[in-house]
Amino acid sequence: MNFREHCQHIVESVPGASACILMGFDGIPIDTFEGKPQAFDIPTLLTEY
């Protein structure tokens, strides 16, 4: 099972979850799963500056 499949399982298992992103310590996303399209860009929202 890869990271995307784990993220998908989390989004589908947690009520109200819309996305799951695995981020590295440097703020770069390793893998992402978005359940439904959002009005905002989730990876950009979570990137650390």
Average pLDDT over residues 19-43: 84
- Output the pLDDT for position 49: 56
Mean pLDDT of the chain, nearest integer: 85
- Output the pLDDT for position 13: 96
At residue 3, the 3 state secondary structure works out as helix
Average pLDDT over residues 1-9: 91
Three-state SS string across 12-47, please? HHCCCCCEEEEECCCCCEEEEEECCCCCCCHHHHHC
Report CA 2 to chain centroid distance, whole Å.
14
Handedness of CA 45, 4, 9, 6 (dihedral sign): negative
pTM over 0.85: no
With a CB cutoff of 8 Å and minimum separation 6, the contacts of 13 are none
